[in-house]
A and B are shown apart, each in its own frame.
Chain A
């Protein structure tokens, strides 16, 4: 089966500014969301306690809340269903450093009389660790971006690197905006998802850029970058869509069947896959154009490099034959 058969280049660059405007507004909207609404930091980063409790029948939320609010420590605890109506999570902002006291046992005792229950999970993160994890997460993201930027500059050219990083910031911003909008608890797993998007978004962009690079090297006479980009994007369209499709499949399956704990993670990835695919087609390449990539200059530099290599080779041959 063939969904995309290459006939002629699709004129994308001519419409690039509309996509640029659309993306710019969505990114700005995301930033506004992130800075005004902020993230719903989960306990990994904010510190606090999470207790997951499973009942053998429907969890009596009202009763549970009443029991919890009767104790000062859990006055501000939030109780929500988790995955099914039998299961709940209790979240508090407080944490206790006391090794002796077991929170699970404490909650079990407190909730006595609300039904048959089982404490399934207790996560407690002290404030100091929360800060440390936040710092580590930020470092990981920044270093990843820097590392990738360096690698791409080395492999391509700085404008390619910059354009792909702009596409990447675009993708990550929108994914973060979605998380902020839907109040998805921001925990370590979300960070992992963001870093995966980072890798994935680049992955997609690089495939397209690789084609553009190839197109530039092949082109003769007409140095119109827009045309080269149109041709390359059209030629990779099939691959971009297919890979996104297979990745989208598995992430969707993960979201639907992977269990409640992986929901936030897979949701973030879902957004990332869609946005990442879009940006590699409609954003990364136009940005390359807007950055004023100079086809002629690039080709000249390339030819120069090749010439030098040939000369070196010549010299070496002469040397080996004992001429010099």
Chain B
């Protein structure tokens, strides 16, 4: 063996580094950093969700009116003709003399809104900055809420993140069945907007003949029953309270063994609930329990209910009750979400893709490996050693960064195998040329490397420019392709240029001029 030199030492260290840090990924051990498989390889659900922020704005407006009414109610100020929009609402104060008082009271309690009075009509409007805030909050809260729900569902490592300004990316790996996938999607979609709404007992009998427009005139809305959609309820449009005052929800069995959901309200909610039930009890008025705009039940109120506990019944299966309880616990979505993009891959297809791309990698590698030896002799063997080191380095670097390996990423590795030996082809051709010109082996190797370097460098930089842009503008699995290509090219600079150079230097004393056929695969050099 020849002398050690700095190049070969660096190369060996890099090789060792590559091998050591790729072990966790290669043997799929549970400890150590390793590559995560993309959803297209391990199976799973990828959802890009949009969010209807206008709905959040509407319901925020509604809650402002709710607060306004509660405040004015306490001062015995009666309001009527409520108009609600997005970020803007108005109503009239029945007794014109009370307008001033009302405005003052509202200004005290609704600090972020602009409150104006024209005649006896009071307008509550949110300034644009507040509107933006409400929308942003809806998105951030949706991310949090969906994350909470998925975590509670009990699957391994779901990922929920905001993407861009107004999109939510959800990735759930390891879904085994179509049924589970369906349940997960339902769980995400559930706005879980719980409202307790007073039934308008004065007009309840006319519900079946009333139009929505007519109901609106009375400040009511018509809502369907959850199980029998043809059965309608006429309820007050402004809810008594809603799910934001909820502290807990559980699925339990009732005394008949039917699954149901119990919930608990916070202090403020309990107070409002107590006041309402106290008022409603004498006439046995009904309180509708409304979830996502469907009435689950509307029990008569017989007495004041303190403590702030309630229950939702409705003939659930235990899975349904569980999922609704999770949704209620993790909070309502301020705005409903919708699918902009869905990609789901079953576990069996992922497995097939892994097998197919591995076969391609192994056979592509074998072809290139053998070809290099066949064409260049020992020089090809040296390039092959660098290629093996390159593969280990790609895996090691991806493991350390916890990068995701996708199917296009596998294609990127296969392609790297073909392109990484390019540097060695260029170098070997230069060396052969110089040997044919009659240069000594040492000189041919030295000049071969320095002559080849600029070309290899420029070529790699341009490829890097392309793959970097692909990384920034690509999405999903395609990003994985850019990642493996980029890492592969960078690693090849170390292995194919520096590493092989070091190996040649080390072997130089052994390379005899009359054995060039064996070493470089050429005959008849001068």
Contact = CB atoms under 8 A, between A and B. Distances in A.
Interface of A: 1-2, 5-6, 52, 54, 95-100, 102-105, 108, 118-126, 128-129, 133, 136-137, 139-140, 143-144, 147-148, 151-152, 155, 188-189, 191-192, 195-196, 198-200, 202-204, 206-207, 210-211, 214, 235-236, 238-239, 242-243, 245-251, 253-254, 256-259, 261-262, 265-266, 269
B50 interface: yes
Nearest to B517: A1
A199 B478 contact: no
Given A189-B477, A242-B425, A254-B415, 14 more contacts: A2-B522, A95-B339, A98-B189, A100-B189, A102-B181, A119-B346, A124-B343, A143-B473, A192-B470, A192-B482, A203-B463, A206-B462, A245-B371, A247-B422
A196 B408 CA distance: 12
Interface string B422-452: 1001100100110010000000000000010
A262 B363 CA distance: 16
Contact of B364 (A97, A239, A254): A254
Given A249-B364, A269-B415, A259 B475 contact: no
Contacts of A152: 458, 462
Contacts of A257: 356, 359-360, 363
Q: Secondary structure at chain A's binding surface: helix, strand, loop or mixed?
A: helix
Given A102-B185, A144-B465, A266-B411, A137 B178 contact: no
A210 B425 CA distance: 15
Given A105-B178, A243-B425, A191 B346 contact: no
A196 B485 contact: yes
A98 B49 CA distance: 10
24 contacts: A1-B521, A99-B49, A100-B189, A104-B181, A120-B349, A122-B342, A123-B342, A123-B343, A124-B342, A129-B340, A143-B469, A144-B465, A152-B462, A188-B474, A188-B477, A192-B408, A203-B463, A206-B459, A242-B375, A242-B425, A246-B425, A258-B357, A262-B357, A265-B408
Q: Secondary structure at chain B's binding surface: helix, strand, loop or mixed?
A: helix
Contacts of B476: 188
Contacts of A148: 462, 465-466
A133 B407 contact: no
Contacts of B343: 121-124
Given A206-B462, A258-B411, A125 B341 contact: yes
A249 B361 CA distance: 11
B417 A250 contact: yes
Contacts of A204: 459
B338 A97 contact: yes
Contacts of A129: 48, 340-341
A126 B348 contact: no
B222 interface: no
Contact of B459 (A126, A143, A202): A202
Interface in B143-183: 178-179, 181-182
Nearest to B522: A2
B523 interface: yes
**Which among A6, A103, A104 has the greatest number of chain B C-beta atoms within 10 A?**
A104
A123 B47 CA distance: 10
A245 B478 CA distance: 25
A188 B414 contact: no
B137 interface: no
A151 B451 CA distance: 20
Interface in B7-28: none
Nearest to A241: B425
A125 to B, nearest CB: 5
A96 B189 CA distance: 13
Nearest to A207: B455
A249 B414 contact: no
A257 B353 CA distance: 10
Number of chain B interface residues as a range: 35 or more
Contacts of B466: 144, 148, 195-196, 198-199, 202
Interface in B166-217: 178-179, 181-182, 185-186, 188-189
**Which among A120, A121, A192, A265 has the greatest number of chain B C-beta atoms within 10 A?**
A192
Nearest to B377: A1
A262 B359 contact: no
Contacts of B414: 250-251, 253-254, 258
Contact of B462 (A128, A192, A199, A269): A199
Given A102-B185, A104-B344, A191-B478, A251 B418 contact: yes
A235 B371 CA distance: 21
A238 B411 CA distance: 26
A141 to B, nearest CB: 8
Contacts of B477: 188-189
Contact of B50 (A97, A100, A124, A248): A97
A54 B459 CA distance: 43
A204 B454 CA distance: 13
A121 B414 CA distance: 24
A99 B185 contact: yes
A211 B521 CA distance: 23
Contacts of B189: 98-100
B71 to A, nearest CB: 37
Contacts of A52: 349
Contacts of B472: 140
Interface in B253-271: none
A259 B408 CA distance: 11
B368 A120 contact: no
B349 A121 contact: yes
B396 interface: no
Contacts of B48: 129
A102 B182 contact: yes
Interface string B42-59: 000001111000000000
Contacts of A140: 469-470, 472-474
Contacts of B473: 136-137, 139-140, 143
A6 B436 contact: yes
B226 interface: no
Nearest to A156: B458
A192 B474 contact: yes
A261 B422 contact: no
Interface in B208-246: none
B465 A249 contact: no
**Which among B188, B343, B418, B419 has the greatest number of chain A C-beta atoms within 10 A?**
B418
B361 to A, nearest CB: 9
Contacts of A261: 40, 353, 407
B467 A195 contact: yes
A108 B178 contact: yes
A52 B345 CA distance: 9
B421 interface: yes
Nearest to A135: B473
Contacts of A245: 371
Nearest to B417: A250
A235 B352 contact: no
A309 B334 CA distance: 67
Contacts of B371: 245-246, 249
B426 A207 contact: yes
Nearest to A237: B429
Given A119-B346, A188-B474, A254 B462 contact: no
Contacts of A5: 436
Contacts of B401: none
A125 B343 CA distance: 8
Given A102-B178, A144-B465, A258-B357, A247 B425 contact: no
B475 A133 contact: yes
B454 A210 contact: yes
